[in-house]
């Protein structure tokens, strides 16, 4: 790992950290436009986080020692995830972990968040956690299966190698497996990051909130950390989706030109994805909790079909 | 020197023994039962005398004498004595009706002949049907024990099986070594004595010799 | 050789010596690792010639970890005054002796005797020192394992008679002499025989009951040491002694059974109310996964691809070793909780993290490891198992092309559900508010009780972070089994098999720790802030013991999703209430024991019914008895004339 | 010189009959049985290693040596155990001094008659001895004057006498089948003579005689359909006697069957083995049914004797070096384990004063040592490994598998597993749970635990190791069956 790879990696991480609140703001902005209202400015998430960082934290008497550690572990996991996933270039992603490891780190983040939900002993936290687990119990296998299908095509599960493989092929790489796998991953993106059809991120109405329920107990700096972590998770999902399924334009080498192209293409793709997420959110209404499994099983079958299609076709 | 006369007498006596055992099956009174057992033993002694004469081996004479004395006289006397002592109800209530038991005894005789049929071709003339008849008498003795209630009838049944056995011994082996013969006599006698003691004890505890009451140990 | 002292008198003394003997066993295995297999022929004459023991590299690795766990469990039972009676101590020693013997046994008879002795001593240990003394749980265990042992006897006797050998190490590749069908039958018999101890589906009924009602030391050993022996010997039989030949269908059957067991166990673990029952099903699930990977290895081997098979077995054995560490840690943790809070039902626990921070920290380590989360050992071995299943390219057969993805789907599903179950176990024992007086004021644990659990937790982390020496040894130990020569699994620092995407556990955990540290430092730099102690957000109503989520409620959504699997009997009764405004409604929900209800109960009822009919034969009438005699005589005479 | 061996029990019986005080009876009885044991050792050694001792009347070969060891050892242990057992009965007031004298005399008479069975050469004399054992043991079964004991002894007497009469018919037919081979001279009933000429015996006669002997002596040996007397006799007899009955008497009857089986195997190979297998499996099946449903602890053990006799018959039936070695080993293992179980049951019955297994609870607390020994014995009798019976069963299974009759092996294992489950459930049910209130803790007596301890160590030792001496002796017996060990 030469110095330049290290620097590039750090640059990638900084890019992710800075852009994730922006993406959240863009999604909110597009949704408000769709509802033909002006909506908060795109930079609002930055201001929220800055404000929360300076507020004092209220910790419940019944919370245990774990309560204050969880936010740091969550954000740390997400930062580590940022370092592992190739953003601009397929070069120095460090070869630390492959796609399966990425999914397990997402699992760690979710595990910690659910523990946080159970901390204070409040029923909202408990409800949020149990619903989160219901969703994730089906999402995780979907993710793993779609990874398996992509790994089967490209022969390796290493992220940068996959994106290099598909980037090199250009348009000829499109195959039904890829299409099915990307659809499955898109649905799991919506599920994991508690977007509308699965959960409404905006409200605090206990009936609808899954993700928010777990964060209810946190306040001040910890809340800032958790929000930041969920923003980064959303961005990472989009980066993975874009780099694995539509990697054209990602920088293969280290020259400045390619890097610039890489940065430009990833920024563009993130924007497009954010807008599409916002569009889906405003078009669909939130589903009833126990109708979610049907949608989730659709995504599971999609990924299973993706794997089958690779072998049968 | 095949002495036709003795063979015929032996066959006649063997047939007579079979007839008596069927008679025993038909008897309804205890006294009649014991007496026919005595007759059977006497006939058995007669056969052994004839056989001894025919084969010329002396020790069969001793055996014949023993049969006559022990089985012919002492055991029936002992049985009659114990019947009187225990004031056993003279009437024999059979579990299986008289006509049915006679039919079954007939069947048993046929089975005995069927079983011994391959042996007869190889055995000698004398033993030809004695073996079958001994087997038949053993079966009938056993059936006697199954089909009657009284403990006494079971003792008599067992003794009839012994008689059948003796017929078998004499007809096939012309008398086993003497020690064995005497040993068997001694054992039969002891068996009867002990059964008598036990019958006495049962009569004391159960006030009846009807074995159908002995059904407490189940499962 | 572990010199076991079976001392009745001093409990402390006997546990100390058992710990010492465990350590000596560990040294012996280290010795073996350094200079190759060591074989001793004991001059003890037995019915089939002299007993012999032998320890090869694979056995040494498993023995090393098992004896370390033994030492920790011994220290734990010493400090925690569990298994107080001196009889308990002697049974503990006997159990250890029989497990160690079974692991190193090279003689057919020694293996059989040691194997059943493990089940007998563990039964006595588990059943002997229990309060309510109901024999049903223990007896089921004994009966099922004995059935398993009978199957093993047939399989091993088959092997020894065809090969004419009594020493297990001399039997190699017997599938040629046995022919495909019989070798398949032998493998299946061995699989079911050992499966009875591992909890393969139809034979698993004894596991939850025994775990929930016996002391945690015995269950800790039973689930770890005994399962290690079972898997070790099973792998030796399948790959070394009989050899897989081209048994495609058999390997698929094995994979199918293992997968259903894992899935079924994961589902059940989610809804259990007793901590140790959750862990019982979790052992079943882990063993299911291990056997699934071994089944996959058999599949690869049957297609002649030796390298993927070796990698799969290596992954399975690595997971077995990790399982030994974290399962014993968790079981002992649950035991300590039950003793401290006096409650075994999850519904009545809660909030113990505040009163027992030390124990909750150690338990958290164990839960993270068993739920396979990154820095810990469970993650690395589960990752390896996933990767071993993903190697389908070299085999073009369509059958495999469908089997492997299905296996991956099943494995992914049950790891996700199992993670939910473990989270529920940890969350509702340690977090939230205490739900009973016992949980509110647990007996204070003195420092020394948690002392034996700390090394195990450290081992969980260590095996996760730096497991290269172990993996290298494992690969070199496993490859001769499958005839793969010198496969390269470890490249530099990352486990990268056939360079199809590697994992660098050391790098990953360093990255993770570094990231968390950086975040912490950056935030500390942005200035001091006040931490105010308030009470949980209760939107007005005062929160008490009942206004919080219960474990059953927690698993309710998942139960609704997988309703067909659980088939709960729900009953809503409305009790009459004097005033018309108030309606009191009772909601009852019972989860049926599927297997006992549909398979075992009718089976037992049928046998007893037949027995009752035969019993009438002993009717008591002497005439009937004589009639039997006469009938059998006449029948024989007529038939056999 | 064999007469000395036979005289000792007779003298002890006589001494016990006439000695006045209780103490004297006990001393004579135990001393007598120990002397018999000591005297028997050289004969057994001779029988096993220096070839058969054949002196006209007496005939000692490894098979009789094996059974002699069983008789002598078990009689010694039973007399040792019955000292305390009967002392407890006397304190309970059930028996008086006359009964005690009567009991010990009959005990040694019983031992004497069994020794004669094993030692004598001529089959006729053997028959007489077997008849003698029945007569003597009938009194012992009817020892307690209760009505059930009467019923049990009457049934025992009648059924066994019928059985033995059939056996005599069998012997006669055997004698008849040997007439044309040896000519009609007198002493053709000696087994050694018959053994030498076994090849030329008339097959048809031999087949029928084997059927009669198997059914006849099978009744005495407790094989399946003829076993009906066994549970009644064992449950009503005093426990040391039922131990003697099931551990030794059944074996002696089996000894007779085996003698003829050796002859029949020469003349009509396969016929007697298939019969033995049939009866073995039948007794195993019927015993399983009864073990699952019996409530009385001594009937439960009696049916387990039927089961183990079935296993022994099965072992000899399957034939082949492994199975026969297993069966021979099983004879030894079964008699030791069964005696231990009966002694344990004896302690329990005298303590709880009931034989119903559902009323016996919490043995672990009231009598810890007996409970421990009973658990060991229970695991052993059910066939779990560290004990001797498992080895026997293992050899029989491997013998069956080697011979290739998988159906027999499969059925055998299935029944064994069911019996294991049934037995462990009953026994561990007794030992666990809470005892009824008001039951005094503690054992009944130290002396009675001594034989139990010795037995427990013996079966554990035999289970794990097999010293050369024992294995050579057993393979000598196996050679007798015309099978290369």
pLDDT in tens, C519-566: 888 887 776 777 777 777 777 777 777 777 888 888 888 888 888 888
Least confident of A4-18, D110-124, D131-145, D426-440: D426-440
Q: Which residues 125-144 of chain D have a CB within 8 Å of chain C? A: none
Residue A308 contacts C where some CB pair is shorter than 8 Å:
yes
Q: Which residues neighbour A10 within 8 Å (Cβ) at sequence distance 6 or greater?
A: none
> C158–D385: do the CB atoms touch at under 8 Å?
no
Residues of C in contact with D394 (CB under 8 A): 109, 112, 153, 157
Least confident of B170-174, C394-398, D124-128: C394-398
Q: Using a threshold of 3 CB pairs under 8 A, tell whether chains A and B touch.
A: no
Number of neighbours of residue C538 by Cβ within 10 angstroms: 16
Spatial distance between the Cα atoms of C206 and C154, rounded to a whole number of angstroms? 23
Residues of C in contact with D170 (CB under 8 A): none
Q: Using a threshold of 3 CB pairs under 8 A, tell whether chains D and B touch.
A: yes
Which of the 8 DSSP states describes residue C292?
H
Residue C501 contacts A where some CB pair is shorter than 8 Å:
yes
pLDDT band at D253 (very low <50, low <70, confident <90, very high): very high
Spatial distance between the Cα atoms of D119 and D106, rounded to a whole number of angstroms? 20
Q: Which residues 339-358 of chain C have a CB within 8 Å of chain A? A: 350-351, 353-354, 357
Confidence (pLDDT) at C45? 67
Least confident of A233-247, C235-249, C370-384, D396-410: C235-249
Spatial distance between the Cα atoms of C77 and C331, rounded to a whole number of angstroms? 12
Burial class from Cβ neighbours inside 10 Å (0-12, 13-18, 19+) for residue C88 reads buried
Phi-psi label, residue B163: left if phi above 0, alpha if psi -120 to 50, beta otherwise = alpha
Q: How far is B123 from chain D (nearest CA, A)?
A: 9
pLDDT band at D188 (very low <50, low <70, confident <90, very high): low
Spatial distance between the Cα atoms of A110 and B96, rounded to a whole number of angstroms? 85
List phi, psi (to 5°) of C28: -60, -40
Q: What are D182's two structure tokens?
A: 């040896």
* Nearest CB partner across the interface for B145, out of C620, C626, C634: C626
pLDDT band at D254 (very low <50, low <70, confident <90, very high): very high
* Nearest CB partner across the interface for B218, out of C618, C638, C641: C618
Q: How far is B199 from chain C (nearest CA, A)?
A: 14
CA angle C497–C498–C499, rounded 5-degree value: 85
Can you tell me the mean pLDDT for D433-440?
Answer: 73
Confidence (pLDDT) at B219? 63
pLDDT band at B90 (very low <50, low <70, confident <90, very high): low
Least confident of A10-14, C419-423, D2-6: D2-6
The pLDDT of residue B178 is above 80? no
Residue A36 contacts C where some CB pair is shorter than 8 Å:
no
Q: What is the DSSP pairing of strand C584-590 with strand A57-60? A: unpaired
The pLDDT of residue C25 is above 90? no
Spatial distance between the Cα atoms of D365 and A104, rounded to a whole number of angstroms? 53
The pTM of the full predicted model, rounded to 2 decimals, is 0.88
Nearest of D76, D88, D112 to residue D22 by alpha carbon: D88
CA angle C556–C558–C564, rounded 5-degree value: 100
> C549–A73: do the CB atoms touch at under 8 Å?
no
Spatial distance between the Cα atoms of C147 and C151, rounded to a whole number of angstroms? 7
The pLDDT of residue C92 is above 70? yes
Confidence (pLDDT) at A7? 82
The percent of residues above 70 in pLDDT, for chain B, comes to 90
Q: How far is C257 from chain A (nearest CA, A)?
A: 20
Residue C143 contacts D where some CB pair is shorter than 8 Å:
yes
| Closest alpha carbon within chain C to B138 | C630
Interface test with A, best of C360, C416, C418 (most A CBs within 10 A): C416
List phi, psi (to 5°) of A22: -60, -45
Spatial distance between the Cα atoms of A233 and A253, rounded to a whole number of angstroms? 27
> C630–B139: do the CB atoms touch at under 8 Å?
yes
Q: What is the DSSP pairing of strand C569-575 with strand C584-590? A: antiparallel
Q: Where are the domains of chain C?
A: 267-274+317-525, 559-590, 597-639
* Nearest CB partner across the interface for B211, out of C622, C638, C641: C622
Helix/strand/coil for C518 = helix
Q: Which helix (H) or strand (E) holds C232?
A: helix C227-235
Number of neighbours of residue B125 by Cβ within 10 angstroms: 11
Residue linked to tokens 């030791």 = D336
Residues of D in contact with B153 (CB under 8 A): none
* Nearest CB partner across the interface for D424, out of C139, C628, C641: C139
The pLDDT of residue A234 is above 80? yes
Nearest of D468, D116, D481 to residue D264 by alpha carbon: D481
Nearest of C135, C254, C137, C134 to residue C191 by alpha carbon: C254
pLDDT in tens, A181-214: 888 889 888 888 888 788 777 766 666 677 888 8
Residue A207 contacts C where some CB pair is shorter than 8 Å:
no
In this complex, the chains that touch C, judged by 3 or more CB pairs closer than 8 A, are: A, B, D
The pLDDT of residue D485 is above 50? no
Spatial distance between the Cα atoms of C184 and D111, rounded to a whole number of angstroms? 53
The percent of residues above 70 in pLDDT, for chain A, comes to 94
Give yes or no for a contact between A242 and A273, defined as CB atoms under 8 angstroms apart.
Answer: yes
DSSP chain B: ---HHHHHHHHHHHHHHHHHHHHHHH--BHHHHHHHHHHHHHHHHHHHHHHHHHH--THHHHHHHHIIIIIIIIHHHHHHHHHHHTT--SB--BSS-HHHHHHHHHHHHHHHHHHHHHHHHHS-STHHHHHHHHHHHHHHHHHHHHHB-BHHHHHHHHHHHHHHHHHHHHHHHSS--HHHHHHHHHHHHHHHHHHHHHHHHHHHHHSS-BGGG------
> C620–B95: do the CB atoms touch at under 8 Å?
no
Helix/strand/coil for A186 = helix
> D467–C153: do the CB atoms touch at under 8 Å?
no
Compare D355 and C292 and report the one with higher pLDDT: C292
In this complex, the chains that touch A, judged by 3 or more CB pairs closer than 8 A, are: C
Q: What are D358's two structure tokens?
A: 């559902």
Q: What are B123's two structure tokens?
A: 């055995």
Number of neighbours of residue D328 by Cβ within 10 angstroms: 28
The pLDDT of residue A1 is above 60? no
DSSP D37-99: HHHHHHHHHHHHHS--EEETTEEE-HHHHHHHHHHHHHHHHHHHHHHHHHHHHHHHTSS-HHH
> C623–B143: do the CB atoms touch at under 8 Å?
no
Confidence (pLDDT) at C290? 93
pLDDT in tens, B69-85: 888 888 888 888 888 87
Which of the 8 DSSP states describes residue D264?
H
Q: Hey, which of A266-280, A298-312, C71-85, C87-101 has the most confident mean pLDDT?
A: A266-280
Can you tell me the mean pLDDT for A31-46?
Answer: 86
Spatial distance between the Cα atoms of C432 and C621, rounded to a whole number of angstroms? 70
Least confident of C375-384, C535-544, D113-122, D448-457: C535-544
Residue linked to tokens 């004031």 = B87
Q: Which residues neighbour B52 within 8 Å (Cβ) at sequence distance 6 or greater?
A: B58, B60, B61, B64, B175
Q: What are C491's two structure tokens?
A: 């490249």
CA angle B149–B151–B156, rounded 5-degree value: 100
Angle between helix axes D250-267 and D320-352 (nearest 10 degrees) is 170
Q: Which residues 161-180 of chain C have a CB within 8 Å of chain D? A: 161
Give yes or no for a contact between C95 and C108, defined as CB atoms under 8 angstroms apart.
Answer: no
Q: Using a threshold of 3 CB pairs under 8 A, tell whether chains C and D touch.
A: yes
Q: How far is C157 from chain D (nearest CA, A)?
A: 6
| Closest alpha carbon within chain B to D294 | B219
Alpha-helix runs per DSSP H in A246-287:
256-283
Residue D207 contacts B where some CB pair is shorter than 8 Å:
no
The pLDDT of residue C66 is above 50? yes
pLDDT band at D124 (very low <50, low <70, confident <90, very high): confident
Confidence (pLDDT) at C531? 76
Give me chain A's average pLDDT, please.
83
Buried-exposed string C414-433: b where 16+ CB fall within 10 A, e elsewhere = bbbbbbbbbbbbbbbbbbbb
Quote helix, strand, coil % in chain D, to nearest 5: 80, 0, 15
């Amino acid at each position: 790992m030469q110095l330049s790879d290290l620097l590039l990696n750090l640059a990638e991480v900084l890019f992710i950290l800075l852009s994730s609140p922006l993406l959240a703001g863009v999604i909110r902005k597009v949704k408000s436009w769709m509802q033909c209202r002006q909506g908060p400015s795109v930079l609002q998430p930055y201001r929220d986080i800055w404000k929360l960082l300076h507020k004092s934290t209220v910790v419940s008497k019944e919370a245990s020692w774990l309560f204050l550690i969880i936010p740091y572990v969550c954000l740390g996991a997400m930062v580590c995830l940022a370092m592992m996933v190739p953003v601009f270039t397929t070069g120095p992603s460090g070869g630390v972990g492959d796609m399966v490891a990425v999914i397990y780190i997402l699992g760690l983040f979710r595990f910690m968040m659910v523990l946080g939900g159970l901390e204070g002993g409040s029923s909202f936290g408990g409800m949020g956690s149990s619903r989160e687990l219901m969703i994730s119990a089906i999402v995780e296998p979907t993710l793993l299966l779609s990874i398996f299908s992509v790994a089967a095509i490209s022969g390796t599960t290493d992220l940068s190698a996959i994106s290099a493989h598909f980037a090199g092929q250009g348009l000829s790489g499109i195959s039904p497996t890829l299409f099915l796998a990307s659809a499955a991953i898109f649905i799991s993106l919506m599920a994991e990051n508690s977007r509308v059809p699965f959960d409404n991120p905006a409200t605090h109405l206990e009936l609808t909130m899954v993700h928010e329920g777990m964060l209810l107990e946190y306040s001040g700096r910890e809340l800032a950390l958790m929000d930041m972590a969920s923003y980064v998770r959303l961005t990472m999902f989009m980066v993975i989706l874009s780099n694995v399924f539509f990697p054209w334009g990602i920088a293969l080498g280290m020259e400045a030109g390619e890097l610039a192209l890489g940065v430009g293409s990833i920024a563009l793709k993130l924007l497009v994805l954010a807008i599409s997420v916002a569009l889906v959110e405003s078009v669909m209404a939130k589903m009833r909790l126990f109708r979610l499994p049907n949608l989730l099983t659709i995504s599971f079958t999609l990924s299973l079909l993706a794997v089958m299609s690779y072998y049968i076709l | 020197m095949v002495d036709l006369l003795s063979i015929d007498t032996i066959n006649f006596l063997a047939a007579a023994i079979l007839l008596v055992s069927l008679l025993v099956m038909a008897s309804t009174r205890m006294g009649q039962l014991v007496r026919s057992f005595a007759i059977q033993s006497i006939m058995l002694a007669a056969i052994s005398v004839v056989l001894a004469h025919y084969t010329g081996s002396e020790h069969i004479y001793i055996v014949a004498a023993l049969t006559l004395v022990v089985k012919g006289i002492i055991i029936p006397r002992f049985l009659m004595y114990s019947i009187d002592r225990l004031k056993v109800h003279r009437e024999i209530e059979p579990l299986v009706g008289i006509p049915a038991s006679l039919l079954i005894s007939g069947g048993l005789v046929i089975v005995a002949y069927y079983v011994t049929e391959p042996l007869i071709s190889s055995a000698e003339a004398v033993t030809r049907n004695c073996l079958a008849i001994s087997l038949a008498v053993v079966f009938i003795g056993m059936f006697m024990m199954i089909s009657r209630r009284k403990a006494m009838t079971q003792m008599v049944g067992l003794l009839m099986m012994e008689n059948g056995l003796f017929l078998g011994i004499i007809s096939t082996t012309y008398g086993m070594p003497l020690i064995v013969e005497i040993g068997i006599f001694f054992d039969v006698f002891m068996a009867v004595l002990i059964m008598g003691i036990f019958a006495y004890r049962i009569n004391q505890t159960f006030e009846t010799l009807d074995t159908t009451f002995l059904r407490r140990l189940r499962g | 050789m572990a010199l076991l002292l079976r001392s009745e008198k001093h409990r402390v003394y006997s546990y100390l010596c058992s710990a010492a003997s465990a350590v000596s066993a560990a040294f012996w295995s280290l010795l073996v690792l350094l200079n190759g297999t060591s074989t001793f022929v004991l001059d003890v004459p037995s019915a089939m010639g002299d007993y012999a023991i032998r320890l090869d590299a694979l056995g040494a690795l498993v023995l090393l970890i098992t004896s370390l766990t033994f030492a920790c469990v011994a220290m734990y039972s010493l400090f925690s005054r569990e298994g107080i009676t001196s009889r308990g101590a002697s049974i503990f020693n006997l159990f250890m002796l029989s497990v160690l013997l079974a692991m190193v046994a090279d003689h057919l008879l020694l293996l059989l005797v040691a194997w059943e002795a493990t089940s007998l001593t563990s039964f006595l240990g588990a059943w002997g020192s229990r309060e309510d003394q109901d024999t049903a749980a223990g007896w089921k265990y004994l009966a099922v394992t004995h059935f398993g042992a009978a199957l093993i006897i047939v399989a091993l006797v088959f092997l020894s008679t065809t090969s004419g050998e009594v020493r297990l190490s001399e039997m190699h590749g017997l599938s040629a002499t046995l022919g495909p069908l019989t070798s398949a039958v032998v493998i299946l018999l061995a699989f079911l025989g050992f499966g009875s101890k591992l909890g393969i589906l139809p034979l698993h009924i004894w596991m939850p009951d025994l775990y929930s009602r016996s002391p945690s030391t015995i269950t800790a050993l039973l689930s770890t040491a005994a399962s290690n022996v079972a898997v070790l010997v099973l792998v030796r039989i399948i790959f070394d002694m009989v050899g897989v030949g081209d048994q495609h269908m058999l390997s698929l059957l094995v994979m199918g059974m293992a997968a259903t067991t894992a899935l079924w166990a994961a589902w059940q673990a989610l809804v259990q109310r007793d901590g140790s029952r959750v862990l019982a099903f979790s052992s079943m699930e882990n063993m299911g996964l291990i056997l699934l990977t071994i089944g996959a290895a058999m599949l690869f081997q049957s297609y002649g691809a030796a390298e993927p098979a070796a990698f799969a077995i290596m992954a399975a054995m690595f997971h077995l070793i990790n399982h030994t560490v974290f399962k014993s840690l968790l079981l002992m943790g649950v035991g300590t909780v039950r003793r401290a809070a006096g409650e075994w039902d999850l519904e009545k626990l809660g909030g113990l993290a505040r009163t027992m921070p030390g124990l909750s920290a150690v338990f958290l380590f164990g839960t993270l490891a068993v739920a396979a989360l990154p820095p810990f050992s469970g993650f690395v071995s589960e990752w390896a198992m996933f990767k071993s299943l993903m190697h389908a390219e070299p085999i073009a057969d369509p059958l495999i092309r469908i089997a492997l993805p299905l296996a991956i789907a099943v494995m992914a599903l049950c790891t996700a559900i199992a993670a939910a179950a473990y989270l529920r176990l940890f969350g509702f024992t340690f977090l939230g508010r205490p739900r009973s007086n016992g949980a509110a004021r647990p007996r204070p644990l003195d420092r020394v009780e948690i002392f034996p659990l700390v090394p195990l937790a450290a081992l969980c982390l260590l095996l996760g972070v730096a497991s290269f020496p172990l993996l290298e040894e494992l690969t070199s130990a496993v490859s001769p089994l499958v005839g793969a020569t010198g496969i390269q699994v470890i490249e530099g620092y990352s486990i990268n098999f056939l360079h199809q995407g590697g994992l660098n556990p050391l790098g990953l955990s360093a990255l993770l720790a570094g990231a968390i540290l950086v975040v912490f430092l950056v935030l500390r730099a942005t200035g001091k802030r006040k931490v105010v102690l308030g009470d949980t957000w209760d939107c007005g109503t005062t929160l008490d013991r009942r206004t919080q989520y219960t474990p059953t409620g927690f698993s309710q959504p998942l139960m609704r999703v997988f309703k067909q699997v659980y088939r709960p009997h729900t009953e809503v009764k409305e009790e009459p209430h004097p005033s018309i405004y108030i309606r009191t409604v009772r909601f009852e929900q019972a989860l049926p024991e599927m297997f006992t209800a549909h398979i075992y109960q009718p089976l037992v009822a049928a046998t007893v019914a037949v027995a009752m009919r035969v019993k009438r034969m002993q009717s008591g009438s002497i005439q009937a008895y004589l009639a039997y005699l006469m009938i059998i005589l006449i029948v024989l005479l007529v038939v056999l004339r | 010189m064999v007469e000395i061996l036979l005289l000792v029990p007779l003298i002890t019986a006589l001494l016990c009959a006439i000695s006045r005080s209780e103490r004297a009876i006990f001393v004579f009885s135990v001393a007598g049985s120990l002397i018999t044991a000591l005297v028997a050792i050289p004969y057994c050694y001779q029988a096993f290693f220096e070839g058969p001792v054949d002196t006209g009347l007496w005939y000692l070969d490894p098979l009789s040596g094996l059974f002699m060891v069983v008789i002598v050892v078990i009689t010694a242990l039973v007399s040792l155990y019955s000292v305390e057992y009967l002392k407890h009965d006397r304190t309970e007031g059930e028996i008086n001094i006359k009964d005690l004298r009567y009991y010990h005399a009959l005990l040694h008479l019983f031992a004497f008659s069994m020794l004669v069975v094993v030692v004598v050469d001529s089959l006729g004399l053997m028959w007489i001895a077997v008849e003698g054992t029945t007569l003597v043991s009938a009194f012992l079964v009817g020892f307690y004057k209760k009505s059930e004991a009467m019923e049990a002894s009457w049934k025992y007497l009648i059924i066994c006498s019928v059985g033995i009469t059939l056996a005599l018919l069998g012997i006669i037919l055997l004698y008849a089948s040997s007439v044309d081979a040896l000519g009609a001279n007198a002493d053709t009933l000696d087994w050694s003579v018959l053994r030498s000429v076994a090849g030329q015996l008339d097959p048809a006669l031999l087949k029928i005689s084997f059927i009669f002997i198997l059914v006849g002596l099978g009744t005495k040996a407790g094989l399946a359909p003829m076993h009906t007397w066994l549970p009644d006799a064992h449950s009503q007899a005093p426990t040391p006697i039922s131990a003697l009955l099931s551990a030794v008497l059944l074996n002696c009857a089996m000894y007779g069957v085996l003698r003829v089986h050796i002859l029949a195997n020469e003349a009509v190979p396969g016929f007697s083995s298939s019969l033995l297998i049939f009866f073995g499996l039948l007794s195993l099946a019927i015993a399983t049914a009864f073990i699952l449903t019996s409530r009385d602890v001594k009937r439960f053990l009696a049916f387990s004797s039927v089961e183990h006799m079935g296993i022994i018959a099965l072992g000899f039936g399957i034939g082949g070096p492994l199975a026969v070695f297993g069966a021979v080993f099983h004879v030894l293992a079964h008699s030791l384990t069964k005696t231990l179980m009966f002694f344990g049951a004896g302690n329990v019955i005298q303590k709880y004063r009931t034989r119903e297994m559902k009323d016996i609870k919490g043995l672990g607390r009231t009598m810890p040592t007996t409970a421990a020994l009973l658990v060991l014995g229970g695991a052993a009798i059910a066939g779990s490994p560290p004990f001797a019976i498992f080895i026997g069963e293992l050899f029989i299974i491997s013998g069956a598998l080697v011979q290739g009759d998988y159906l027999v092996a499969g059925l055998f294992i299935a029944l064994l597993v069911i019996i294991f489950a049934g037995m462990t459930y009953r026994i561990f049910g007794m030992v666990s749970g809470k005892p009824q209130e008001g039951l005094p803790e503690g054992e009944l007596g130290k002396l009675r635990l001594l034989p139990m301890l010795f037995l427990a160590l013996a079966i554990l030792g035999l289970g794990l190791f097999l010293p050369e001496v024992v294995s050579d002796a057993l393979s000598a017996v196996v050679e007798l069956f015309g099978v290369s060990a």
